[in-house]
Each structure stands twice: as structure tokens, then as C-alpha cells.
Amino acid sequence: MVSSGISSGNSLEDSSGTVAVVGAGVIGLSCAWRAASAGFAVRVYDPAPGSGASHVAAGMLAPVTEALPTEPAVFALGAAALRRWPDFAAELTAAGADPRLRTDGTLVVALDPGDRAELDRIAEQLSRMGRPVDTLSGRQARRVEPSLGPQVCRALSVPDEASVDNRALLAALLVACRGAGVEFHAHRCLRPPSADVVILAAGAHSGALHPRLHRMIRPVKGEILRLRGRPGALAPPSRTIRAIVGGRQCYLVPRDGGRLVLGATRSEVGFDTDVTAGAVRELLTDAERVLPAVAEYAVEEAVAGLRPASPDNLPVIGELEPGVLAATGHYRHGILLAPLTAEVVLALLRGEDGPGEAGPATPARLPPVSGDASHDSHRHSRVARSAP
């Protein structure tokens, strides 16, 4: 039960103590699960729970290689989130279903001298950041992953990265939410629903839900292919392979059953989710140079999702105004950041400060909306105290 406003001074004394979550992607479901497990009465609003960008994602838990050293704040947030993943996955499994965490690490590979120089630069920068990585020759890389092609001439091994099966994760979160008593409402919210505390977790659609998110959260389209290895073809790699191919990046993320997620394009074309022929050609051309056996694989699915991006590529997690929290803007890192985001949101619901590591995600950094005085704190402000 939500019993009192803290920083905001909003009275919740006459309330029914409800928490409404708008959006049932990985962020909304993680927040809903944690809040319901802590005793809050939680309603989730989404016409199609477990769909959207979370359904399309590759499921990489890859703070180093997703935020290659140009984005230290994104990297630090991701590293804090990755530390939480083993417990998060174990608790989800205990709650009913296994999100299939794989902890085999990432290999980043280069195919030509320009890409090799880029890889060496990344290795140097990571080492300066105190994150030394192992550099392998092409031959050494093929010893580790025999399906890599002969054009691979350099690789960086990042052993402590991981991945989950995003769809198994969504299924597990739905089971866990239902088990914790979360109520699902299958409608699209055009404005925040009425509740004591509302959590806006509508991904790329969040910008329409609050003036402080308007023009701050934009969709960045990503197209992926889902492939399946066929009998007779070399088996997929056992760990995530990221590649720089002629300056373009792609990744191949293994799944159980000889399957592989190949991604991803990045384009800013509004809310368009068509998969273009050019995108499919680009992904397959690059992937085949990295992993020639891909040419023999079956294409099971081609699909696009909309990443919710913010101007600085950091998520927005915290209070927008009394009784309204944002948990959005996770851009390429929604799956990775889910446990940390849910932890921040639960802390705020309880009237506590969120973990310090999540400080850079505060909405206080968003530009003010005229007449809005609710964002003058430079830390996560408290929302309400739970007495479940």
C-alpha cells in the first residue's frame, strides 16, 4: 500500500495505494514484478504485453561492447546492471520460468586492416579505463569459435559479458508478474492512467505520455534476423560475436536449438517498423563474411523494433512530477538495464533513494518544461513510502 508522499508533499492518504505501469516490455514488467513482490497493488497497461522492442531484442548483456569506450556513463550503468543479472535471473527462475542466462562472454572481431586498427584502438581505450581485454589473432579466434570465417584477422575477448533469451525472459516476467498478483489491462494509454503512482515505461511511445519526455524520447529503428542452423552446416558460435565489417557493426547472438539472432540496423525513421530488403541484404552480407555458414542457415524471422533513445543515450529513471515516475529511454540497453531500473523504481516507491550507481539516469538532467518546478533535485527524488 502506498501511504505517503515524501519529497513531493502529495497526499496519498485517501488513496487505494495503487501503482499503474504503462507498458509491458522488459522494463515495465520488471518494475511491476518487483513492486508487486514488495506488496504494492500493481496494474499494468499494455494492449500486447511482452511485445515491442523487448520482443525484437537480441538479449545481449554487454556493457563493454555495446557502449564501446565512447560512452563511459552508459558503460558504468550497464556494468552496475550486469552485476545484478545472476540474482535477477535466479529469482525469476524460482518464480516460475528460466530466462536462459548465458555467461559465455563476447568476441569482437575485425575483418580488414581498417577494422583491425579500430579494434586495437578500442582495446587500448578499454585498458586505459581499467578494463583490459585479451587480443587474439584470427587463427586464435577460430580456435575458440571454429565457425568464424577466414577473413577474421583480429578479435577481442570480453569474457564477463552475457546474454539472455529475450523471449524466454519476457515469458518468465509475465509468469512472475501473474504469480505476484499483477493485474493486466489490455489497453493503450494515451495519457497516464489514474493511480497513486504511475510508472511510464512505454518505450519509444513514452514521449507522448508526459511533457517532460516529449521530444526527449525518440524511436530508433532496429531490424534483426532470426536464423536457424541446419543439419550439415557448421554450428553457430557458443558466445556472442560482434563484428566491425568495413566500419559497420553487426552482432550474432546464439540461442538454444542452434538458433542465432543477427542484428541490427539503426535508423531514425519515426515509428516505421517495416523490415526493408536493403536491411536484410546488409545484415546477411556482413554476417556471411564473419560466419560463412550463415549462408546455409534457415531464415526464421525478419522483424524490426523501436529503441527508445534519449539525447545522451542514458535512460530516464525517476520522478517526473509527484506521483509520476519515468522508466524509459533505455535505447540499446533495455534488457541489460532491467534489474537496475526495477531496483531504482522499487526504492522510489518505498520512499528511499535509488542506488547511487543509477544517479546519471535521473530526470533532473532533462531540460525544464515551462512552469515546471519539480526537477530541481540532482538526485533521484523519493516518491512514496510503502507499508505493504
Query: Are the C-beta atoms of 280 and 134 separated by less than 8 Å?
Result: no
Angle at 10 between CA 9 and CA 12, to 5 degrees: 125
Question: Nearest residue by C-beta to ligand GLY?
Answer: 332
Question: Is the Cβ of residue 205 or residue 307 nearer to ligand GLY in the bound state?
Answer: 307
Question: Is the Cβ of residue 289 or residue 307 nearer to ligand GLY in the bound state?
Answer: 307
Give, rounded to a whole angstrom, the gap between the first and last alpha carbons of the chain: 5
Q: How far is the CB of 180 from ligand GLY (least distance, A)?
A: 27
Question: Is the Cβ of residue 61 or residue 366 nearer to ligand GLY in the bound state?
Answer: 61
| Other CB atoms within 10 Å distance of the CB of residue 116 | 18
Whole-angstrom CA distances from 165 to 57, 265, 266 are 9, 20, 21
Q: How far is the CB of 222 from ligand GLY (least distance, A)?
A: 5
Question: Is the Cβ of residue 264 or residue 345 nearer to ligand GLY in the bound state?
Answer: 264
Q: How far is the CB of 380 from ligand GLY (least distance, A)?
A: 24
Burial (0-12, 13-18, 19+ Cβ within 10 Å), 66: buried
Question: Is the Cβ of residue 77 or residue 320 nearer to ligand GLY in the bound state?
Answer: 77
In the numeric block, the cell 545481449 is attached to 60
Instruction: Please give the full DSSP string across 255-309, using - where no structure is assigned.
Output: EGGGEEEEE---B--TT--PPPHHHHHHHHHHHHHH-GGGGGSEEEEEEEEEEEE
In the numeric block, the cell 527524488 is attached to 381
Which spans of this chain sit near ligand GLY (rule: CB under 6 A)? 58, 60, 66, 222, 263-264, 307, 332
CA distance 290 to 131: 25
Query: Are the C-beta atoms of 231 and 296 separated by less than 8 Å?
Result: no
Q: How far is the CB of 258 from ligand GLY (least distance, A)?
A: 21
Q: How far is the CB of 302 from ligand GLY (least distance, A)?
A: 15
Question: Is the Cβ of residue 332 or residue 380 nearer to ligand GLY in the bound state?
Answer: 332
Q: How far is the CB of 36 from ligand GLY (least distance, A)?
A: 27
